[in-house]
Structure formats: structure tokens, C-alpha cells
Amino acid sequence: MNIQWYPGHMTKAKRAMKEDIKLIDLIIELVDARVPLASRNPDIDELGKGKARLILLNKSDLASEKQNEAWTAWFKKKGFFVVKVNARSGAGLKQITGVVQEACKEKIERDRRRGILNRPVRAMVVGIPNVGKSTFINSFAGKACTKTGNKPGVTKGNQWIRLNKTLELLDTPGILWPRFEDQRVGLLLAFIGSINDEILNKDELAMELIRFLETYYPQILPQRYLPDEDKEVSSGSRTELEWLSQIAKVRGCLLKGGEPDYGKAAAIVIDDFRSGRLGRITLEFPPEEMEESCEN
């Protein structure tokens, strides 16, 4: 699948971020814990040069806990502060204020030496579409400050939110980058819902997801979509199309004459993954230099 998506409003949003970056002390970057590298906009590193950096591994409840720990170690080694969170439930959010103070310690000390007391840290919240920025801000603030939605592109403009005397947040729209040089990245973002579903071939996307699950999580599909007597089926015993046919059968998605409705079956398996009904799944693993140390 060749996946590209870069709506016009993202160019405008990127320009606004370039203007606002001079006003902030810290960049809080939300990534999807299931695809921590693919869900990072590479432009943010360039925009944020010289700024303190905090990465929030959001939706960590949907990702493998072992891989959450591996990614936390990997990002820390790269010089980032990291917190695992679930913005929807609020898990991990209480840690953030302390980590923000630690990340901005030099700035706070510098203010104190200049006689500037109690000036709040200004943090820009960034991330690609559908990683949960607005949900995070609302949960962190304890009130509805921003619009939220389960599709990319809900936040359209920048918005300042004063949380308390020590922290102000600048909410920004989710932006991608103009072209995915690595189509694997586009595919991973399509899996998690950061690409507009309307431009995707759901049947092909579902078969790519099934192929990944068969390779790295071989028991998930049998456990979810096979009757008890067949759950011990070995990995690779079905093709991707046969799995879609099985899912259509077990979920009652049949056309006239009993033919499987592949479109509905594809939508089911994608939705089951995105919602966590397939279990805790990480689609992307830390680069090789960290794999050995994370496994030990």
C-alpha cells in the first residue's frame, strides 16, 4: 500500500508552531506507545532544538508492557524525559508535573537568579493526529479545555491553557510531514488511525495487520476468532484472506449465498486492534542497539 496524507491546514499549523516555539520552555510530545517512532514527526526535533523535551508514551495500556519499558529506556538514552500515560483513564498523569520541573530545572534556576519567581513553565504540546493530545490536556487539567475526537484533525488552531501557577500549555493541531519516505511508517500510522480512513483500502490494511500479527503475535488471531476446539491452530496455517473469511464467518458478516463480506471483516479486525480488544500489542520495536539490553 502506498499511503500519503498531508492536508493543507497542516502547512499553516507548522508555520504557527515555528512562530510560537520562541515563547516556550518545554516541548511535550505525545507518541502512540504502540508505534513510538513512527508516531513521531521528524520535524519536531528540528523545531525544538535547544528546548527541554518530554515524551509521553500515550495509550500505553494498549501496548506491550515489556515494550513500553524498552521504549522508555531507549528514549531516555537519547536524552528525553519520558512518562508512560493513558490520557483517557488518567494513569501516569500525576508524575508529569514533577518531571516537567526536573526537565526545566535550569530554566527555573536561571529565573530565580534573576529574581523572577513563580513564572510558569510554558510547554507546547505536540504530536501527530489522533495520538490523544486533546484528551491528555483535558485529563491533565481536570476539565474540558479542548475538543476531542476519535478521528485525526479535530484540533485546528493553537490554544493557550493555564493549568496552574507553575505550568501553561499550548495546544497545537496534529501535524504530519509532507511525505513518508518509508512506507512502513505510513502503514503503521494507518493501523493506529492517524491517517484519514477515507483514503485507505481497508481490506488491504486489514490483511497487512493480519500478516504482522501472524508473525509477531501468532496466538492472538486464533484466541479471538476461532472456536475453542481450534484455538491451538499453528501460526501460518491460514492466509490473510482466509483469516478475513473466518472473521466474517464468526462475526456473521455474510453476503447473500453465504459469501464472506470481506469489507466488514476488515473493519472488525482493524477496530478490534485499535480498541485493544485483541490485547496489548506493540507494532514497532526499539532499534537493534537497544534490543539486547532490553531483553536482559
Q: Is residue 176 part of a domain?
A: no
User: Which of the four pLDDT bands, split at 50, 70 and 90, describes residue 64?
Assistant: very high
Residue 89 sits in the same domain as residue 150: yes
Residue 15 sits in the same domain as residue 157: yes
Rg (CA), the chain: 21
So what's the pLDDT on residue 182?
Answer: 76
pLDDT, averaged across the chain: 85
* Type of residue found at 179: R
% of the chain exceeding 70 in pLDDT: 83
* Type of residue found at 73: A
So what's the pLDDT on residue 22?
Answer: 86
pLDDT tens for 120-146 read 999 999 988 889 998 999 999 886 665
Question: C-alpha grid cell for residue 121?
Answer: 513553565
Q: Which of the residue ranges 39-48, 143-152, 222-231, 262-271 has the most confident prediction, judged by mean pLDDT?
A: 262-271
What mean pLDDT is predicted for residues 14-23? 77
Residue 56 sits in the same domain as residue 112: yes
Residue 110 sits in the same domain as residue 161: yes
* Type of residue found at 253: C
So what's the pLDDT on residue 106?
Answer: 93
Q: Is residue 59 part of a domain?
A: yes
Residue 12 sits in the same domain as residue 158: yes
How many separate domains does the chain show?
2
Residue 166 sits in the same domain as residue 29: yes
Using CA atoms, how far apart are residues 259 and 237, in angstroms rounded to an integer?
21
Using CA atoms, how far apart are residues 30 and 98, in angstroms rounded to an integer?
17
Higher pLDDT, 259 or 228: 259
Q: Is residue 143 part of a domain?
A: yes
290 phi, psi to nearest 5 deg: -105, -15
Q: Is residue 157 part of a domain?
A: yes
Residue 126 sits in the same domain as residue 166: yes
What mean pLDDT is predicted for residues 281-292? 76
Pairing of β 26-32 and β 159-164: unpaired
Q: How many residues does the chain have?
A: 296
Pairing of β 121-126 and β 81-84: unpaired
* Type of residue found at 222: P
So what's the pLDDT on residue 172?
Answer: 83
* Type of residue found at 55: I
Q: Where residue 45 sits, what CATH number does that domain have?
A: 3.40.50.300
Residues 6+ apart with CB under 8 A from 105: none
Q: Is residue 184 part of a domain?
A: no
Where does a domain end: 130, 156, 171? Answer: 171
Residue 147 sits in the same domain as residue 210: no
Residues 6+ apart with CB under 8 A from 112: none
Residue 160 sits in the same domain as residue 33: yes
Higher pLDDT, 13 or 261: 261
Range of the domain at 277: 201-295
Residue 165 sits in the same domain as residue 216: no
54-63, 94-103, 170-179, 235-244: least confident range: 170-179
So what's the pLDDT on residue 67?
Answer: 97
Residue 29 sits in the same domain as residue 119: yes
Using CA atoms, how far apart are residues 187 and 200, in angstroms rounded to an integer?
10
Residue 18 sits in the same domain as residue 159: yes
Q: Is residue 147 part of a domain?
A: yes
So what's the pLDDT on residue 118?
Answer: 80
pLDDT tens for 141-197 read 886 665 444 444 434 456 788 888 889 999 887 776 556 667 888 899 999 998 888
Residues 6+ apart with CB under 8 A from 17: 47, 124, 126, 158, 172, 175
Whether residue 11 has pLDDT greater than 80: no
